[in-house]
């Protein structure tokens, strides 16, 4: 058991499936009280039940991260249930793809509302609670390696993830005096439903991705949970950092690894 996580309360947004679900299960396995949340209460209850049947402690809450009152209710429910809040993982995210010239104002706004404003609302509400508690905390924002690069048909998504990176730095600087460490994790291609969905796109080729990645494979959910767990611990002197976990994808300047 990880001593740094034991007894803490962690909220993981977008934990009804994918990366968030795995991270929530990891925190619970390490001994934390976990709040599982997304827009689908039923799916979150199923994840919470899985955690409890494995001997962990979990509570499911419905939240839409793009709605401030809904986020405030999430924090309130977490504190009502577990007494305090120590770790906030802002993982909920969406992607709407298309040529930049075809993206509608509604699509642009939708991606911004969830991926950037949602992360801000959640960090803000969590930070407020942690400041009130007076003994620090940690916030981990799930960004993407795409937050620091351009890409075809991904303008809204990549733009919001770039915003998340700098939001992370701003909050880290501002809340350092309260011992709140704020970091971001920028994953590369990880095996999730989001990637399965992307495979339906004509321009997404699994083999291309693997060839373009120095480690030669997709990342695993386990590896991402390891990174989040490290960033969420308060004994590492790391704050305002964007940790890239992409198998070397963004370090690699040009071409395929077999070139």
Q: Specify the long-range contacts of residues 145-150, CB closer than 8 Å, at least 24 apart.
A: 145/186, 145/187, 145/188, 145/244, 145/246, 145/249, 145/250, 147/184, 147/186, 147/242, 148/186, 148/242, 148/250, 149/250
16 near ligand NDP (CB under 6 A): yes
Nearer to ligand NDP, 43 or 153 (CB): 43
Candidate residues 190, 228, 232, 242; the one interacting with ligand NDP per rule CB under 6 A: 190
162 near ligand NDP (CB under 6 A): no
- Of 82, 120, 157, 249, the active-site residue reads 157
Candidate residues 79, 96, 195, 243; the one interacting with ligand NDP per rule CB under 6 A: 195
Q: How far is residue 111's CA from residue 96's CA, in Å, rounded to a whole number?
A: 7
Nearer to ligand NDP, 133 or 204 (CB): 204
- Smallest separation, CB 37 to ligand NDP (Å): 7
2 near ligand NDP (CB under 6 A): no
Greatest extent of the chain over all pairs of C-alpha atoms, in Å: 57
Which CA distances in Å does 59 have to 16, 35, 36, 190, 253? 12, 5, 6, 26, 44
Instruction: Candidates 27-35, 79-87, 91-99, 204-212: pick the segment binding ligand NDP (CB under 6 A).
Output: 91-99
Q: How far is residue 246's CA from residue 227's CA, in Å, rounded to a whole number?
A: 11
63 near ligand NDP (CB under 6 A): yes
Instruction: Candidates 8-16, 45-53, 165-173, 209-217: pick the segment binding ligand NDP (CB under 6 A).
Output: 8-16
Candidate residues 96, 131, 194, 238; the one interacting with ligand NDP per rule CB under 6 A: 194
Q: Specify the long-range contacts of residues 252-257, CB closer than 8 Å, at least 24 apart.
A: 252/212, 252/213, 252/214, 256/211, 256/212, 257/211, 257/212, 257/213, 257/214, 257/216
Task: Calculate Rg over the CA atoms of the chain.
Answer: 18
- Smallest separation, CB 220 to ligand NDP (Å): 11
Nearer to ligand NDP, 32 or 164 (CB): 164
- Smallest separation, CB 237 to ligand NDP (Å): 25
Q: Are 42 and 49 in contact (CB under 8 A)?
A: no
Candidate residues 65, 111, 126, 228; the one interacting with ligand NDP per rule CB under 6 A: 65
Active site residue 189: no
Nearer to ligand NDP, 120 or 189 (CB): 189
Catalytic residues: 157
């Amino acid at each position: 058991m990880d001593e740094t996580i034991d007894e803490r309360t962690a909220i993981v947004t977008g934990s009804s499936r994918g990366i968030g679900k795995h991270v929530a299960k990891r925190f619970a396995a390490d001994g934390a009280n976990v709040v599982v949340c997304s827009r689908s209460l039923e799916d979150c209850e199923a994840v919470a039940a899985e955690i409890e049947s494995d001997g962990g402690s979990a509570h499911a809450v419905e939240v839409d991260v793009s709605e401030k009152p809904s986020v405030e209710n999430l924090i309130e429910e977490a504190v009502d249930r577990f007494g305090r809040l120590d770790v906030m993982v802002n993982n909920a995210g969406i992607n709407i793809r298309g040529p930049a010239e075809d993206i509608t104002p509604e699509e642009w706004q939708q991606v911004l509302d969830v991926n950037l404003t949602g992360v801000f609302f959640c960090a803000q509400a969590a930070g407020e609670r942690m400041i009130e508690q007076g003994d620090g905390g940690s916030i981990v924002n799930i960004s993407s390696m795409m937050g620091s690069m351009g890409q075809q048909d991904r303008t809204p998504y990549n733009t919001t993830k770039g915003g998340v990176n700098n939001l992370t730095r701003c909050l880290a600087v501002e809340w350092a005096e309260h011992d709140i460490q704020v970091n971001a994790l920028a994953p590369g291609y990880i095996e999730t439903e989001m990637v399965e969905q992307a495979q339906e796109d004509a321009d997404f080729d699994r083999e291309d991705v693997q060839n373009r990645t120095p480690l030669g494979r997709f990342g695993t959910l386990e590896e991402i949970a390891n990174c989040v767990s490290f960033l969420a611990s308060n004994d590492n002197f790391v704050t305002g950092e964007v940790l890239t976990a992409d198998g070397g994808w963004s370090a690699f300047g040009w071409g395929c690894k077999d070139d």
